[in-house]
Each structure stands twice: as C-alpha cells, then as structure tokens.
Amino acid sequence: MSGSVHRATLTSIRPLARDVIEYVLTLPADDAQLSWRAGQFISLTCGIRDDGQPLLRSYSIANRPGSGRVDLVVKLVEGGPASEWFRRITVGEEVRFTGPMGFFVLDLQHAGDVLFAATGTGIAPIVPMVEETLGRDEAGRVHLHWGVRAEEDLFWQDAIARLASPRLSTVVTLSQPSPAWGGERGRISDRVLALAPSLARPTFYLCGNGAMIKEVKAGLVARGVDRKRQIRTEAFFD
C-alpha cells in the first residue's frame, strides 16, 4: 500500500456500456512496478471543490499489477462532480492519485468454496480477484454471480469468458431485460442465497450496490454464515 501521491497519464478512454467508461492510467517508468492486491482501490483527485480543497473519489483497480498501468471502470452519473470531471478530461492529461489501499482483498487461503457476487461496476475488482483465486492451488469451487439492469449495461463479456475453468461457474443475471434476452432474469440476491447452503466451507465476496450487499449479507447470516470470518464486502455508491 502507499499513501504518497502518484502521477499517471491518461492514455485511453473507452466506452464499455451505458454510462460506463474505462479509463487507463499509464504509470511513469519510475512507478511502473507499483504493486497492489486484487480488490484494492486508489483515491483520485477529480478537480477542486468549492472550498478550494481537492475533490477526491475512490475507484477500484480493475486490473492486476505488473502491466505498468491502472485501469478504472467508472459509472458516470449525471450532475455528479467527479463524473463531470471524468467527462472533461482527455487522453494525454496527467492525473494524481493516492494508494493503492483498502482491505477488500482475498483471504490468503480459502478452506473451501468461494462465491463472488457483484452488481454493475462492482465487477471491476471482482474479475482480477476471480483470476487470482483460480490461479491458486486450491480445490474449492468458484462461483461468480454478476447482476445488471438490462442488456445496455453489460460489458466485459470477453474478460469473463477468459476466466473459464473447470472450477468456475458463472451466472449473469438481468433484473430488467428486454423480451429478447435469453439468459437469466431477476436479482442475484435470490440466486446467491439459494446456492449458499450447498457450498462447502464457503467464503463470500460481495461488491457493488449497497442494498444488494445488505440483503445478501443478512440472508447469509440468517443461514448460519459467520459474518466476520466468511463474508467480505465493498459497497459502491453512484
């Protein structure tokens, strides 16, 4: 982890889905080996507040270390100060951030099965976490549940497909799909809670919408899951 200020150059802006944009920050040569753990975040300076202080916002890192870059997946919110800053910045600009930091990281070892549940851009830190989990010498099954509202909100389908492993099962669920959608429908909360009793010594990682996290966490605890030992959470707020 690092509390010092880092500088990077914005080298790519890529629309991913409805109001979801990927920003790639390339690190300078003397910082190219900046390290972090999958699931951690950076705190980005997104302009200046009315009182003259820096406007800071935290964003999960969407890639694993070692590439000399930091990828961010940002949900733009109409009228949001940070979102408006992101709309204005252009490729080639310098940005400043502190970190990486945060405790939403993988346990050093999993005793059994692992379940990841994400909504919206909460998938950003989860994909690197799943990748790291699958690369470990562990025997447990890995379950990935991702929920978005509609087809226009889907992205990273290729990245998720590349995670394919005999240990991994992936379910993508839409809560408000069009009639043409042929995949799963509903809320991931219901599916995660229904699956929980069949898991062996599980660890749960929940990331995204705060309401989803609260509901799933309460449901898991009601089913006998240990809140402190088996559940890890990171809430995203639009």
How many whole angstroms separate alpha carbon 74 and alpha carbon 167? 30
Reported as type and span, the H/E element at residue 22 is strand 20-26
What structural domains and CATH numbers belong to the chain?
5-101 (2.40.30.10), 114-236 (3.40.50.80)
From 187, 42, 9, select the one nearest 125 (Cα to Cα).
42
Beta carbons of 76 and 18 less than 8 angstroms apart: no
pLDDT in tens, the chain (238 residues): 456 889 999 999 999 999 999 999 999 998 878 999 999 999 999 988 888 888 999 999 999 998 899 999 999 999 888 999 999 999 999 999 999 999 999 999 999 999 999 999 999 999 999 999 999 999 999 999 999 999 999 999 999 999 999 999 999 999 999 999 999 999 999 999 999 999 999 999 999 999 999 999 999 999 999 999 999 999 986 5
Q: Could you give the CA distance from residue 33 to residue 71 in angstroms, rounded to a whole number?
A: 15
- Among 53, 52, 51, 58, smallest CA distance to 82 is for 58
DSSP class of residue 91 equals: T
User: Measured between alpha carbons, how far is residue 154 from residues 53, 63, 148, 186 in Å?
Assistant: 35, 18, 7, 15
Q: How distant is the alpha carbon of residue 77 from its chain centre?
A: 17
